[in-house]
Amino acid sequence: QVQLVESGGGLVQPGGSLRLSCVASGFTLNYYTIGWFRQAPGKEREGVSCISSSDGSTYYADSVKGRFTLSRDNTRNTVYLQMNSLKPEDTAVYYCAAGLFGPCGHQLSPYNGMDYWGKGTLITVSS
């Protein structure tokens, strides 16, 4: 059974850090483009970061560049998103997704090429 499970969300103060995990089962994660997306209340889901299956290159949206770091552990079939210097505007439900032919880069989109989705984990950045 194909499954993606996110964890690591919670409440954090502005300037704080969190690390999200996305564990894949039923498929080999490194054969897929893995993307992190987020959806804030009342807003559309947007791409945050991704890692390409072809060369392991990573992409970050401008809003998180320099603060978030995506990494992949093939032995654990897991992708991580380290989030530092969190801001209130980072508050959202964060989802990981996998796409066999999903693009990784400026084309990253929840509407393009993602085959499997996790159920999401909520991050609230507030004092």
DSSP secondary-structure letter at 30?
G
**Total residues found in the chain within this entry:** 127
Tokens of 44: 């559309």
Taking the C-alpha atoms of residue 72 and residue 13, their distance in angstroms, rounded to an integer, is: 26
Taking the C-alpha atoms of residue 125 and residue 49, their distance in angstroms, rounded to an integer, is: 19
Encoded amino acid at 106, one letter: H
Q: Is pLDDT at 60 greater than 90 in this prediction?
A: yes
Model confidence at 114, pLDDT cuts 50, 70, 90, reads: very high
Mean pLDDT of 87-110: 94
Mean pLDDT of 93-119: 93
Tokens of 124: 């609230």
